[in-house]
Chains A and B, each alone.
Chain A
Amino acid sequence: MSFVSNLYSATAEIFVASMILAIMLATAFARGIARSLAYSLAQLTLIVATFITFFTLNTGGEHAFSNMFVHDVPGGVLKLMVYLSMMIALLYGRGYLAERKLDRPEYYLLALLTTLGMMVMITANHLLVLYVGLEMMSLALYALVAFDRDAVRSTEAGMKYFVLGALASGLLLYGMSMIYGATGSLEIGEVKQAFLGMDDGSMKVLLFGLVFVVAGISFKLGVAPFHMWVPDVYQGSPTAVTLILSSAPKIAAFAMAMRLLAGALPNLAEHWQTMLLFVAAASIMLGNFAALVQRSIKRMLAYSGISHMGFMLLGLLSNSEAGYSSAMFYVIVYALMTLAAFGMVVLLSRDGFEAESIEDFRGLNRRNPWFALLMLFVMFSMAGIPFFVGFFAKLAVLQAVIEAGYLWIAVLAVVMSVVGAFYYLRVVKLMYFDEPIVNTSIKASSELQLMLSINGIAVALLGLMPGTLLKCCEEAMKAAAFAVGG
């Protein structure tokens, strides 16, 4: 294969990378309009990248760049979801950032760079590329979390995220080096092949490596024993950054888990299934119980995110095609729900006021019935109340995990969902049955209002017809070459 034909597969990545450089140059010279220029060019980049990825989607699993890059359908679908989440997150965050004078052009550059990192992770077929993509994503995120550099909380959150993230990267890298030691290759396909005819010794080293890799993945997903950073970082970073942090990186981390566990180490499935089983059980319990006692809405949503990621792992650990596609469906649905929820927090934080506390939602129905209704959709969906999309996401992973023969964890997950319903419904109760503290009407730009409405309605409507997206995930997983079973 000539080098130029490699470039075709990576058109979207190359386009985003060149746009980053172009935006950097353009904003350096455009003095007065740099902020709005950076924003519009960033959105344009994401839109064009969406088209590029969409129209190059139907190429079945071809490899490029000496097998380091894989161009497959699930990768394409996940990339489309990443673009969508980033577009929504940038749109929601714009007004918030402008009010706090944080909408410097670098914000949009870092947001695009983190997107590029996620794209690289999603299409990686080589442990080295996966790691470089992960670092690109994480480094840009660390800077974004600390972006409000004059606020102590923001810099503290950035510091925490950076130190713990570096530790997690170290763990992951250590695991990868052991995998390399045992198999003699860093390429995902070859790692899988090397398993056949492996002697006992290399097997042990490989298992060692697996433990570290699972730890690294768990950190990036923010699940139970490695969840400590999640609430602090979510709360400390500017809400516009929390929007980014809670949505797209989860999709990329899911892709990383798929590539590493289902792609490279399917033959060790019985081992990583057990590990993920404990991780999932711990995060579902911890997330839901800890969210009960939170006063800050951002911390509550952070803990709820931990439990949601635990749920997502249920699908992944089922180690079946239905399981993988249900996990993919879950992570996409979760990204949509969390964007709407944090979008609501952004909507309520106006005029230098942060809607930090759950109490700020008190009496929202009196102030603005429409947004109260949208928040109700989102909360019901997150709680998994039937006929909202969150319910179908939970149903799909539970079906998959029961089919895989882990009935006890399905029962545990359902019980914990009931616990979780309490804190979601508390928000609804505050909105509808309590008196508002302040009576000011909600002021927001019309684009934010419109997008939030679309997002909220999407959460409700997808619940009425979840088939399309679920089918899309199933098709994507079917098209992929993930080995199923032992």
Chain B
Amino acid sequence: MEFSTFVFYFFAAILVLAGLRVITARNPVHAALFLVLAFFSAGGIWLLLSAEFLAIVLVMVYVGAVMVLFLFVVMMLDIDFAHLREGFWKYLPVGALIGSLLAVEMGLVIVHGMGGKQMPPVASTIVADQSGAAIQCETNICELGRVLYTEYAYPFELAAMVLLVAMIAAVSLTLRRRSDKYHEKYISPEEQLAARHEDRLILVKMPSEKEIPEEPAAAEGAGR
């Protein structure tokens, strides 16, 4: 066995086991950590395929950012997991039936369809070179970058607009401007220190004698 084959089986085994534990772990924090492990092993397999850029992105974005955030959320939320599991046995027969039906259907297609046959070659856009092979790329970062900004420029720009949609939507649905200035989270020191003369001394004008107003209702009133 070649060394790379050994490495592949090593990572693949960890990946499959970690994937299994993600859905069987009782504690959601453990499940999330197993998912991190699964990402790491998938990254390893990608490295083996010399897709180093994707491997790094997977580890940096998914493990570094998404999963950490997810872990925080899982730890912060007080979810009653026993309650979530309640209906398991009740729904198991239906779920198992549908699941096995799907599995059988897919199995039929795969067995009948792809048994020993070669998949068609991917009409690869990654190896194609539009500008006449001016640039020889050795790394896949270079390859990706070249098609991303030439051939896939249109969907690339559109993806940027989709991110803009997400930004505008998130802000417009959650941002609340506080209209009352006393509910602001800070008071500017300028305002705090400012002293106005009307705050220091207030002159109140009061009459020396108080007139008692006559009450016409009281004169006619019954219960007085």
A residues adjacent to B (C-beta < 8 A):
3, 6, 10, 17, 20, 24, 65-66, 68-69, 104, 106-107, 109-110, 113, 116-117, 120, 126, 128-129, 132-133, 135-136, 139-140, 142-143, 146-147, 149, 181-185, 187, 190, 194, 198-205, 208
B169 touches A184 (CB 8 A): no
Q: Which residues of B contact A20 (CB under 8 A)?
A: 161, 164
B120 touches A132 (CB 8 A): no
The residue from B113, B130, B169 contacting A200, defined by CB atoms under 8 A apart:
B113
The residue from A65, A139, A183 contacting B166, defined by CB atoms under 8 A apart:
A139
Please tell me if B162 contacts chain A, counting CB pairs below 8 Å.
yes
Q: Which residues of B contact A129 (CB under 8 A)?
A: 154-155, 158
Across the A-B interface, the 4 shortest Cβ-Cβ residue pairs:
A143-B169, A201-B113, A106-B172, A65-B154
The residue from B117, B123, B172 contacting A190, defined by CB atoms under 8 A apart:
B123
Q: Which residues of B contact A201 (CB under 8 A)?
A: 112-115, 117
A136 touches B161 (CB 8 A): yes
Flag B104-135 by CB within 8 Å of A: 1 or 0 each. Answer: 00000100111101011111000000100000
Q: How far is the CA of A69 from the CA of B162 in the complex (A)?
A: 17
Besides A24-B168, A117-B165, A120-B158, 4 other CB < 8 A contacts? A66-B151, A110-B169, A139-B169, A201-B117
B158 touches A113 (CB 8 A): no
Closest Cβ of chain A to B220, distance in Å, is 43
Interface of B is mostly: helix
Q: How far is the CA of A430 from the CA of B167 in the complex (A)?
A: 45
A204 touches B168 (CB 8 A): no
Please tell me if B171 contacts chain A, counting CB pairs below 8 Å.
yes
B123 touches A136 (CB 8 A): no
Please tell me if B153 contacts chain A, counting CB pairs below 8 Å.
yes
Query: How many of chain B's residues touch chain A, expressed as a range?
Result: 20 to 34
B113 touches A205 (CB 8 A): yes
Please tell me if B47 contacts chain A, counting CB pairs below 8 Å.
no
A183 touches B120 (CB 8 A): yes
Q: Which residues of A contact B23 (CB under 8 A)?
A: none
Contact count A vs B, C-beta below 8 Å = 101
B residues adjacent to A (C-beta < 8 A):
109, 112-115, 117, 119-123, 130, 150-155, 158-159, 161-162, 164-166, 168-169, 171-174
Interface of A is mostly: helix
Q: Which residues of A contact B173 (CB under 8 A)?
A: 143, 146-147, 149
A140 touches B120 (CB 8 A): no
B172 touches A68 (CB 8 A): no
| CB nearest to A131 among chain B residues | B155
B120 touches A184 (CB 8 A): yes
A selection of 9 A-B contacts at a CB cut-off of 8 Å is A6-B154, A17-B161, A66-B154, A69-B154, A128-B152, A136-B165, A139-B162, A146-B173, A147-B173
| CB nearest to B121 among chain A residues | A184
The residue from A68, A110, A181, A200 contacting B119, defined by CB atoms under 8 A apart:
A181
| CB nearest to B169 among chain A residues | A143
Q: How far is the CA of A68 from the CA of B168 in the complex (A)?
A: 27
**Best-buried of A24, A117, A201 by chain B (most CB within 10 Å):** A201
Closest Cβ of chain B to A236, distance in Å, is 15
Q: Which residues of A contact B161 (CB under 8 A)?
A: 17, 20, 113, 116, 136
Closest Cβ of chain B to A156, distance in Å, is 14
Closest Cβ of chain A to B174, distance in Å, is 8
| CB nearest to A199 among chain B residues | B117
B168 touches A113 (CB 8 A): yes
B168 touches A208 (CB 8 A): no
A109 touches B168 (CB 8 A): yes
A126 touches B165 (CB 8 A): no
Q: How far is the CA of A117 from the CA of B164 in the complex (A)?
A: 12
| CB nearest to A191 among chain B residues | B123
